[in-house]
Amino acid sequence: MDKSEKFWNKSANGYDKEEMKDRDVRIKILEKTKKYLKKKDSVLDYGCATGILANEIAGDVEMVYGMDISSKMIQIAKNNASKLDIQNVKYTHTTIFDENYKSGTFDVILGVYLLHLLEDMPKAINRIHELLKPGGLFISVTPCLGKRSLTGISLSFFSKIGLIPSLKTYNISELEGSITNMDFKIIESECLQKRGQQYFIVAKKN
């Protein structure tokens, strides 16, 4: 088990409570995401955590596949889906590079509060592109604090000394560039919250 999984396993029990502190932003993310979903869609929630979003959108699509590197998060997600009697969500403790995921499989891939936590974001975005069907959508939400912001500097420091998982600080132009460089066209980009510079981005596979 690597450091990141250990961190997220420890955080799992309090994750839902922590995330819902920003309830207004969470509702915005859900509403904006649902506008892009169709009943026939097969969706991959990359870094699904406890399944907050996956369980919410299950009724709007054909199938949701949730995946996360944290076994504890996945167990909670499965329990939550079971309590809600959701039949069309499948949760797996794995990575995006799992060979069971085949090229051109998904209509939509979600990456909510994920990209800044990745060791190799271009490699992951390239894999997302590969897994999407032609014209498929990649929907992400990412804090774009920038390397020079006070918060960005603080988070980078805490990450380096091991108090929080490895994370990267991007500004919005760097983030959008990383996505378009992998043969995506950005069709929506909106800052949902100025305080955390949280950007909702929808990119279409060319």
pLDDT of residue 146: 58
Q: What is the distance between the alpha carbons of residues 107 and 43, in angstroms, rounded to a whole number?
A: 6
Contacts of 71 (CB under 8 A, 6+ apart): 5, 9, 93
Helices 121-131 and 172-180: crossing angle in degrees, nearest 10, is 40
pLDDT band for position 2 (cuts 50, 70, 90): confident
* 116-162 residue pLDDT tens: 989 899 999 999 999 999 999 999 999 987 554 444 333 443 344 34
Q: Partners of 193 in the beta sheet?
A: 198
pLDDT of residue 152: 38
* 78-106 residue pLDDT tens: 999 999 999 999 999 999 999 999 999 99
| CA-based radius of gyration for the chain | 16
pLDDT of residue 193: 85
Name the E strands within the chain. 42-46, 63-68, 89-93, 106-112, 132-143, 184-193, 198-205
Q: Judge if pTM exceeds 0.85.
A: yes
